[in-house]
Amino acid sequence: MSKHQNLTFFLFLAAVYCLLIPKISYAYLDPGTGSYIVQIILAGLLSVTFMFKNFWSKLFKILSSVFSKKKVEQKIDENEK
Amino acid sequence: MKNKNNQILPSSFRDPSGFVFIKDNKIYRQINKIYQVDYDYLMESGLYESLLKENLVIKHEEVSLRDFKQSDDAYKIISPQEIPFFSYPYEWSFSRFKQAALATLQIQKIALTHNMILKDASAYNIQFYENKPLLIDTLSFKKYKPNTPWIAYRQFCQHFLAPLALMSMVDIRLQNLLREYIDGIPLDLASKLLPVKSKLSFSLLSHIHLHAKTQKHYSEKFSKQKNIKISKQALLSILDNLANTIKNLQWKISRSEWSNYYQETNYSDESFNKKKEVFISFVDSIDEKLITAWDLGANTGEFSRILSKQDIFTVAFDFDFEAVEINSREVVKNNNKNLLPLVLDITNPSPALGWAHAERESLLERGPADLVLALALMHHLSISNNIPFLKLADFFQQIGKWLIIEYVPKSDSNAQKLLWNREDIFSDYSQENFEKAMSTHFDILKSGVISESKRVLYLMRNKNAK
């Protein structure tokens, strides 16, 4: 495992620990609650990486469109010459 | 679908939003008033159009409510596009199964952008039509309430992720567990069966192992209900992670006895070409329009492809997972819209499953086909499985109108192979007895010896078929 993966794994376990420990008894929760809890844990962990991923892909798109525009302009310039 | 005319399909009772019924041999879906708001939103929000554009949902038309309604609580009646053959997840090839899973996630993602969500993620809601996985349950959507979790997340994991992970990381045959567990593989079972290395994958650790633990933990506890909030962005990130997890699940094909059949059979190239020639001439001689065909023991689909090219929708069954996978990949590569390769052991075909044995149809209930192929198959059924010729004839007459069947003599090297390690108790195994048995239900119209192989191809017609 890389350092990055180790850190993610550690954060993941910490989140699991924090979320699973409180057990206050009042109202009955349906069996789907477990699935909701996992979604909350994942939501916290994944949305950050997802945001970065989206940010990079958008940035990449913008940069590549800027560069491709420049290339097209260069080509037009060359053709005009 | 046979014998179900003018009745409500027994598979559509779970959802109060509506149900499917058959009238005059056509499928309709009644949408109940209880689902009015969601249905209108689906149609008006642009979601239905978007999904249709992406080939992800079944197309439908609204028909007259007065003429077709089945009860007073009907809001609309729709007539969906006909699917030529209903297949089930326990019959799909590995890559098809993945496609169905990814399509479900894609649908959920598009739905979210239109402020709707999938309220269920059943694998049975996906059918393959013209080489594409389609959502057939138009009533699967509901309006998205901001900050709520995905209600169908557990079902998605049980119906798609768990079986695919087991098939990929443990054994492909674990797909058969889906026959036992109609609502998907329980996550605690999947967690037990998956190897330790699956816990090293962050996604599988979360979606399966931790998911199983939390399910157990919270199903047995009385706990204070927390206000569970998940943003749309967070839901999208979970969907993205699920899609990547599914994409990363692979199944490596190794050469197997059957998937290599065409290369290793005792057919010479000349005999094989002759077989194809005779086969095509038989198909051409059938003087009626053939709509559907079932190729039993299709292997990698050599003969199924010939039929599919003639615009005959062909289901290519084989019990060998690898052969079906190879066939499936070929279908996707060539965008063959008329061929559906499925895993099925013809000696133990898919049974009727679910409540009152009526939620999932048996193979027989999904027939009959116009044409049935049983090529290089009968010696396996008769010698390896001790199925008498009369029983073969009896089964084939139930599933099809026309039959092209290959008789393999006992002297054939492949038949001899089957006899190597067992006593030859098949004294009745002869061409004469085969023809006699088949004649009880079929008219033998044509026969042709395939060059030096001594095998014989027959074209037969079911005596009882209209």
pLDDT digits (tens, 9 = 90+) for B14-64: 888 999 999 988 999 999 999 999 999 999 999 999 999 999 999 999 999
Judged by average pLDDT, the poorest of A62-66, B223-227, B248-252 is B223-227
CA distance B385 to B425: 12
Segment among B2-6, B37-41, B392-396 with least mean pLDDT: B2-6
Task: Supply the pLDDT for residue B418.
Answer: 83
The rounded distance, in Å, linking the Cα atoms of B36 and B75 is 7
Residue predicted with more confidence, B194 or B450 = B194
pLDDT higher than threshold 70 for residue B373: yes
Q: For chain B, what percent of residues have pLDDT higher than 70?
A: 94
Element (H, E) at B326: helix B321-333
pTM of the complete model beyond 0.95: no
Q: How many CB atoms lie within 10 A of CB B334?
A: 12
pLDDT at A29 over 50: no
pLDDT at position B263: 54
Count of domains observed in chain A: 1
Q: Do A44 and B223 touch (CB under 8 A)?
A: no
Amino acid B254: pLDDT: 77
Evaluate if residue B377 carries a pLDDT over 60: yes
* Chain B residues within an 8 Å CB radius of A33: 214, 218-219, 223
- Does A6 contact chain B (CB < 8 Å)? no
pLDDT of residue B376: 92
User: Bigger pLDDT: A75 or B174?
Assistant: B174
Among the listed residues B240, B299, B383, the one whose alpha carbon sits nearest the alpha carbon of residue A49: B240
Indicate the average pLDDT of chain B.
92
Q: Which residue of B has its CA nearest to A7?
A: B202
- pLDDT the model gives residue A4: 56
Range in B61-70, B103-112, B169-178, B303-312 the model is least confident about: B61-70
Task: Give yes or no for residue B240 having a pLDDT over 90.
Answer: yes
Tell me if chain B has a CB within 8 Å of the CB of A41: yes
Q: Return d(Cα B341, Cα B303) in angstroms, integer.
A: 12
* A16: chain B residues, CB-CB within 8 Å: 210
Smallest Cα distance from B188 to chain A, Å: 12
Selected residue with higher pLDDT from B411 and B105: B105
For the cut 70, the answer to whether the pLDDT of residue B91 exceeds it is: yes
Question: Within an 8 Å CB–CB cutoff, is residue A15 touching chain B?
Answer: no
Q: Which domain holds residue A69?
A: 3-80
> Which of B151, B222, B240 shows the shortest C-beta gap to A25?
B222
How far is the alpha carbon of A51 from chain B, nearest alpha carbon, in Å?
A: 8
CA pair distance B319, B258, nearest whole angstrom: 9
pLDDT at A76: 60
The pLDDT of residue B353 is 96
**Contact check, Cβ <8 Å, B216/A12:** no
Q: Is the pLDDT of residue A1 over 90?
A: no
